[in-house]
Amino acid sequence: MPFFYDLKFPELEAGFVLTQQLVREGTFIQANTEIALLRFTDRNVILRNAGRGVLSAWHVQEGAPVQAGQAFARMNADGEDIPYGRPYLLVEITNTNLLPK
């Protein structure tokens, strides 16, 4: 897998915390896999990757704040698996209590 790209946190308001990494470094994942859970006061965010490949590194550890535009993980992928022309992440915001407080 000769290519890599960084997964960057979307342009949402400040104050999100990476609560749980759902994929271990070095794991091959398919598109639309849940990779991380975040919390912001009463809201939770599920992040899914848009392309398939290997999640090769986490740049942000669990419990750390995440800023808009910040690279928090890196994907290694074959060129045809990189989601060109579309977001690298799929974001689902929910008000349900998915995460421990």
Q: Residue 96 domain-assigned?
A: no
Would you say 27 and 73 are in contact if contact means Cβ atoms under 8 Å apart?
Answer: no
Q: What was the pLDDT predicted at 32?
A: 93
Q: Is residue 94 part of a domain?
A: no
Q: How confident is the model at residue 101 (pLDDT cuts 50, 70, 90)?
A: very low
Would 88 be classed as within a structural domain? no
Which residue reads 């994907």 in tokens? 75
Could you report the per-residue pLDDT of 19-74, keeping only the tens digit for each? 999 999 999 999 999 999 998 877 888 999 999 999 999 999 999 998 888 898 99
Range of the domain at 8: 3-80
Q: Is residue 92 part of a domain?
A: no
CATH of the domain at 49: 2.40.50.100
Return d(Cα 46, Cα 91) in angstroms, integer: 6
Residue 73 resides in a domain: yes
Asked whether residue 57 is domain-assigned, the answer is yes
Q: Kindly report the pTM of this predicted structure.
A: 0.82
Domains in the chain, number: 1
Quick check: is 98 in a domain?
A: no
